[in-house]
Amino acid sequence: MYLMMYIYLLILFVLLLLSYKAECAVMSDGNIFCIFHVVAVVGLGKKGAGVCGKENWDDCKENIRAAVSAGCRQLQDLEVQQVEVDPCGDGQSAAEGAVLGLFEYDELKSKKKVRVATQLYGSADTEAWEKGVLYGEGQNLARRLMEAPANHITPTAFAEAIEQKLSPFSDRVVIHKRPQAWIEQEQMGAFLSVSKGSEEPPVFLELHYTGNPDSSQAPLMLVGKGITFDSGGISLKPSSGMDAMRADMGGAATVCSAIVTAAALKLPVNIIGLAPLCENMPSGKANKPGDVVRAKNGKTIQVDNTDAEGRLILADALCYAHSFKPKAIVNAATLTGAMDVALGSAATGVFTNSDWLWEKLHKASVVTGDRVWRMPLFQHYTKQVTECALADLNNIGKYSRSGGACTAAAFLREFVTADHWAHLDIAGVMTNKDEVPYLRKGMSGRPTRTLVEFATVLASGS
C-alpha cells in the first residue's frame, strides 16, 4: 500500500534546508518554485483518504506519517542537519512521521547517523505539530528503553531513567521507587518469587500524575510488566534470539513513557502508573517448576513454567492497583509468544471485561494508526488455569501452549475485581522489521501513542 502512494505525484509538502537563505514560493495550484540546496518531494497517496473501516485506521494520517518519514530519512542520508516540514494538512501526523522516522538507537556506537533537527514550515498548524512531536518523542523514549542492553537498563536504572524524564514536571508528578523491603511488606509473593533468581534488586515503580487536581474523578491506572531481562529462569529459553528479551519490559516502557508524555502535554486527567521491575534469571534461589507461591490477594499459584513469569509480577501489581479505586485499569505486557502467533505485528491484542473501555481504546488506536484488536475472555480459558493439582491457579494452563495468550489473560483476570479492566498483550508488536514504514528496524515502542491518545480521550470526556 505504501509503495503505491508514491505513484501519486500530488506534491503537498517540501522539506527545506534551513542553513541556506533562499526564497520559496508555493503556488495555490500546488506548483512549487524553489531555489534550495536540498528539496525532498513525496506523494501522499489517494486524495480524500480518511478512516478505513477495514483497516481500522485513518489512511490519510498513516500516509502522511510514512511520507514525511521517507522524506526526512532521505535528507538525513544526504547529511542535511536542519529541516522544515510542511504540515501536509495534518501537522500532528507530519510531526509524528518526522520524529519517529528519524529515530535510531546508535547511542553506544562510535559512528552515529547525522542528527536532524526538524521544525514546522509555516505557522498554520503549530499546536498540532507540537503535539505530534511530543507523541513521537514519547514513543521514542519507550524505544530507547527497550533497545538498551540489559546491563544498561537494570530495574534500578530503568526507574532512575523515568525519574529523570519526569523531573521537569515535579509540580504535578510524584514518584515512588519502592525497594525490596516495601515489596516484602506488601506481601507480593508472586513478584518476589521471580525477582529472587537475580542479583539485581527488584524495584516497584509507582508514578502519580495529577493533571486535574480539582477533579473528584477516580484516576486512570496504567500497569506495565517490567522484566528488564528474561532468560526464562530455570525453564531456560533457547539462546538464539534471547538478546531480544532485554525488551521484555516493553509494557513498563510504554506505560511510563505514556505518563511522561501526558505530563508534557499537561493532560487534565489523573493517572497512576505501576511498574514491577526485575530480572528473570536462573540460579540456586530461582523459582523451580512445580513451586507454589502466594500472591498479594492470598491466592496460591503453581509455577509449572518459570518462563511464564510476567503474569506473576503483574498479578501482585494488579492487586495493589485496586487499592486506589481507579476509574479503569489498563495493563500492558509483552506477555506471550502466542499473541505474536495470533496477530503478528498488525495489532495489540486486547482482553477486557468492559465494552466501554474497549470502545475508548479502539477509538484511540484508529487515530494513532497503532491498532488494537479485541480477544476473548471466555470461561473456557479460566478453567484451564483454575483446575490445578497443588494450588488455586496454575501459571501456564492445563493445555500448556493451546490458546496461550487467552489463558494468560484468564490468569490475570483472577486478580481483577474492577469493572473496567483491559490487558494489552504487546508481544507481537514489540519489534519492527519493516511492517511499519515510519519506524526503523528494532524495538517499536508500541503502543505508547495509543495509550497517550486513550488518556487524551478520557481527559476530553468524549
Known catalytic residues are 237, 311
Under 8 Å CB-to-CB from 341, ≥6 apart: which residues?
A: none
Q: For the sheet containing 393-394, what is the strand order? A: 291-294, 300-303, 393-394
**Nearest partner of 376 among 425, 448, 334, 308, judged by Cα:** 425
Distances (CA, A) of 35 to 47, 77, 80, 84, 377: 27, 20, 16, 15, 60
The residue type of 51 is: V
Under 8 Å CB-to-CB from 399, ≥6 apart: which residues?
A: 384, 407
Contact 442, 432 (CB under 8 A): yes
Contact 71, 107 (CB under 8 A): no
Measured between alpha carbons, how far is 316 from 187 in angstroms, rounded to an integer? 9
Q: Where are the beta strands (DSSP E) in 144-283?
A: 173-178, 203-210, 220-224, 226-230, 270-280
Measured between alpha carbons, how far is 116 from 130 in angstroms, rounded to an integer? 17
Opening angle at CA 221, ends 217 and 224, nearest 5: 170
- The neighbouring-strand residues paired with 301 are 293, 393
Contact 426, 447 (CB under 8 A): yes
Measured between alpha carbons, how far is 322 from 73 in angstroms, rounded to an integer? 45
The residue type of 374 is: R
Size of the chain in residues: 462
Kindly state the cell numbers that stand for 318.
494488579
Measured between alpha carbons, how far is 188 from 160 in angstroms, rounded to an integer? 22
Under 8 Å CB-to-CB from 279, ≥6 apart: which residues?
A: 150, 154, 155, 195, 197, 198, 200, 227, 228, 229, 230, 231
**Nearest partner of 412 among 331, 302, 304, 305, judged by Cα:** 331
Kindly state the cell numbers that stand for 117.
533537527
Q: How many CB atoms lie within 10 A of CB 123?
A: 8
Q: Is the dihedral of CA 324, 363, 1, 46 positive or negative?
A: negative
Opening angle at CA 425, ends 436 and 179, nearest 5: 115
Q: How many CB atoms lie within 10 A of CB 281?
A: 22
